[in-house]
Structure 1
Amino acid sequence: MNINYQKAAISDLTILLELVEEFHETENLPFDKNSDRNVLIELLRNESFGQIWLILQKDEVIGYIVLTLGYSLEYRGRDAFVDEFYLRPKHRGQGIGTQTLIFAEEICHNLGVQALHLEVDFENIKAQKLYHRVGYQKHARFLMTKLMNEEA
Structure 2
Amino acid sequence: MQISFTTYTDNDKTEVLEMMASFNKMEGYAFDPMGRQKNLLEFTSNGSLGRLYVMKLHQQIIGYLVLAFGFSFEYNGRDAFIDEFYIKPTYRNKGIGALTLDFIASESKKLGIQALHLEVEPHNVHANKLYLSKGYRSNDRKLLTRKI
Q: 1:84-138 CA deviation, whole Å, 9 max, x = no partner?
A: 0000111011110000001011111011000000000111111100000010001
CA distance in 2, matches of 1:143, 1:58: 38
SS in 2 for 1:40: helix
Q: 1:14-57 CA deviation, whole Å, 9 max, x = no partner?
A: 11111101111111111111000000000000010000011001
CA distance in 1, matches of 2:97, 2:57: 12
> How do 1:1-80 and structure 2 match up within 5 A?
1-80=1-80
Farther off after superposition, 9-18 or 57-66: 9-18
CA distance in 2, matches of 1:50, 1:9: 14
Q: Give, in angstroms, the shift of residue 10 of structure 1.
A: 2.5
The residue type paired with residue 69 of structure 2 is L
2:116 counterpart residue number: 116
Count of paired positions: 148
CA distance in 1, matches of 2:30, 2:105: 28
TM-score by length of 1: 0.95
CA distance in 2, matches of 1:30, 1:9: 25
CA distance in 1, matches of 2:16, 2:93: 22
